[in-house]
Chain A
Amino acid sequence: MALKIIVCAKQVPDTNEIKIDPVKKTLIREGVPSILNHDDANALEEALKIKDQYPDTHITVVTMGPPQAKDMLIECLAMGADEAVLASDRALGGSDTWATSNALAAAIEKIGVFDLIFAGRQAIDGDTAQVGPQIAEKLNLPQVTYVSEFELAEDQKNITVKRALEDGYELIKIQTPCMLTTIKELNSPRYMSIGGIFDAVKKEIPVWGAADLGVNADTEVGLDASPTKVYRSFTPAPKGQGTVLEGDSEKDVVDQLLIGLKSKHVI
């Protein structure tokens, strides 16, 4: 009874590398690298740790994205995943979290029987943390989000996890099949191995469109089917220019600051 694990991952722009054009107030995204989303790397690592212990475990990574997302899937294979699937189609473009979870749930059902789904808690470009739970809802699975510790019993069925809270944690027991979303405290993702890279590039990565997934492009996936729409978007306004205080000494400058705060009734 080899375990079958599915890992949901996303290729994202490295938002730390994005800068704003100071004059035009627009995003400068030239030269911004695309990376495997951090939390998703933790999701894959936890699956790989299970495979380290039970080598007959089979790991399939699934993503939805443009054709270039294949690069990220190759990285996942090179880290040690057995298989990767890309859901990619113009008809999937512009999906919000509801529509994305329809597409990914359909992809997971097409992959077939599974015991466990790991997904990163959230992606750094959207920060919604909604797709994992919504896939679980559509597959009618129990879920635990914010997983910071994971332990699989020897029966490969019973799982004990820690779920991080703002002021502590919950200790939760859950059984397969289930969806777990992972945070960085869970583990340290491994690097790709040379042999892994060599094998990864030789592997076939199937690309599934809306028709392959059996999803309706008008009512289930894509921009039109998404219940949320973008009304407006804009770059955040910088605050009005403040005052840079200058003076002969630190004391002089600090006195100006305190006088300013007092005159504005801040203190």
Chain B
Amino acid sequence: MAINVISEKCIGCKQCVKVCPFEAIDMDGKLAVINGKCTACKQCVPVCPVDAIFSDEKEVAATDLSAYKNVWVFAEQRGGKIMNVALELIGEGRRLAREIGPDTKVYAVLVGDQVFGLAQECFEYGADGVYVIEDGLLGKYTTDGYTKVIADLVSERKPEIVLFGATHIGRDLAPRVAARCGTGLTADCTRLDVKVSSYIEYADKYTTQDTSDLDPASEDKGLKQTRPAFGGNLMATIITPNTRPQMATVRPGVMTRRERNAAAAGETVKVAPRLSAADIRIEVVDVVKSAKEIVSLTDADIICSGGRGLGNSEGFKLIESLAEKVGGVVGSSRAAVDAGWIDHSHQVGQTGTTVKPKIYFACGISGAIQHLAGMQTSDMIIAVNKDPDAPIFEVADYGIVGDLYKVVPEIIAEWDMAEVLYEATLDRTGE
């Protein structure tokens, strides 16, 4: 696959140079030339006014991919508790499995020491089956131990798709497993699709791209893995066409957990790992939970975030009062963290936590792209900022231009009156 320029057609207008995110197009006089930075992202193809750029998809000798079946989710557990992101991914994996076909199943892969009892929870959140890999050597997470047992199982059972939560453990493990299996891995996905028709539906609803060239009736059931790149400035959909399994990590909080079904049951497969102490080349001396309060931004229905506009660390007291009033948790922009006003664990954004609460209050946050990347899919965004041109207003459902130190106390004071105020408007229209 490569991007090519038809030199006879090129008129030297440089439109392609301007849109290229990778500085991969140079001008040789009046001719655009693709250089070694090209990633074949195809941004340049549609902007060429004279159709001088095309992407040539090289035919690769067909590999037999049909031996690979089912969707796996790494059911990451720490200290005998399954991580939320794994439960979210079991639900997502189930959705993908059903899209692939009626006989495709979603399996959770539980790794640890005495974790058999956690299988039931996987069923309750949607798993059709659970592989349980238990060994005394797997009690604490190690890259070497976990990579070996999972990669061995992948080569033996041949799943079509393997999903990992993009946690510090998932992001340590998935690249090693993918490299050992000789397959591709896409990091930090925010959207996964199998059917082209589902991808089109998503793209038409949430993106600006033109999907008219995609065939909704296509038989293509490869995994389409959409992720932010360039600090959220660009979105890319990645495919793994010629190798299996297709592997992806997914940020916590991006997918939705299924409703828990306590009556659910499924197939449990016990796997005997081939592992010896010599396989593990590191020693985990201790696992320390930090004393600081864990802010569960990903689970919160309401998040009240403060940014540089607060002016000082004292400003977070006001944000805390708002959070207390509305039943939310406190978030922040990177600027406020960098200023030392609040701990990093509160940070929302590309380098912090990705969130999509029902309500997101952005107080004194201008809306740098890296912040927006982590919160713009919130159901309802309310922005309070002095600057009417702040980018946060472009994603806000409700914007209030004003001094947050006057507006926020008013929200706190009036919050419980919402019902009364609303009914009063109904009375008026009723007259």
Contacts and interface: CB of A to CB of B under 8 A. Distances in A.
Interface of A: 13, 15-16, 18-20, 25-30, 65-66, 88-90, 92-94, 96-98, 101, 124-134, 136-138, 142-146, 160, 163-175, 178, 223-224, 226-239, 241-246, 250-251, 253-255, 257-264, 266-267
Interface of B: 1-2, 18-21, 23-24, 35-43, 47, 58, 60, 140-141, 143-144, 147, 167-169, 171-172, 174-176, 178-180, 182-188, 203, 206-209, 224, 228-243, 281-290, 294, 350, 358-359, 368-370, 373, 376, 379-382, 388, 393-402, 406-407, 410-411, 413-415, 417-419, 421-422, 425
B40 A133 contact: no
Nearest to A93: B36
Chain B contact residues, majority secondary structure: mixed
B422 A228 contact: no
Contacts of B42: 230, 232-233
Contact of B407 (A94, A143, A253, A258): A253
Given A137-B179, A170-B287, A234 B207 contact: yes
Contact of B282 (A92, A172, A239, A267): A172
B1 A223 contact: yes
B38 A93 contact: yes
B413 to A, nearest CB: 8
B388 to A, nearest CB: 7
Given A16-B368, A235-B208, A264-B380, A133 B239 contact: no
Contact of B19 (A27, A90, A238, A267): A27
Given A174-B282, A250-B402, 17 more contacts: A18-B230, A26-B18, A90-B36, A126-B229, A127-B187, A166-B167, A224-B60, A227-B184, A227-B243, A229-B238, A229-B241, A232-B236, A233-B229, A233-B237, A234-B209, A237-B207, A259-B421
B414 A233 contact: no
B236 A230 contact: yes
A129 to B, nearest CB: 5
A136 B185 CA distance: 16
A233 B237 CA distance: 6
A242 to B, nearest CB: 4
Contact of B288 (A101, A171, A267): A171
A66 to B, nearest CB: 5
A250 B368 CA distance: 26
A172 B284 contact: yes
A89 B418 CA distance: 63
B172 A171 contact: no
A134 B176 contact: yes
A163 B43 CA distance: 38
Q: 10 tightest CB-CB pairs across the interface, nearest first? A: A15-B231, A227-B184, A93-B36, A228-B184, A142-B281, A262-B422, A133-B175, A128-B187, A137-B179, A258-B418
Nearest to B166: A129
B226 to A, nearest CB: 8
A235 B231 CA distance: 12
A178 B147 CA distance: 16
A242 B243 contact: no
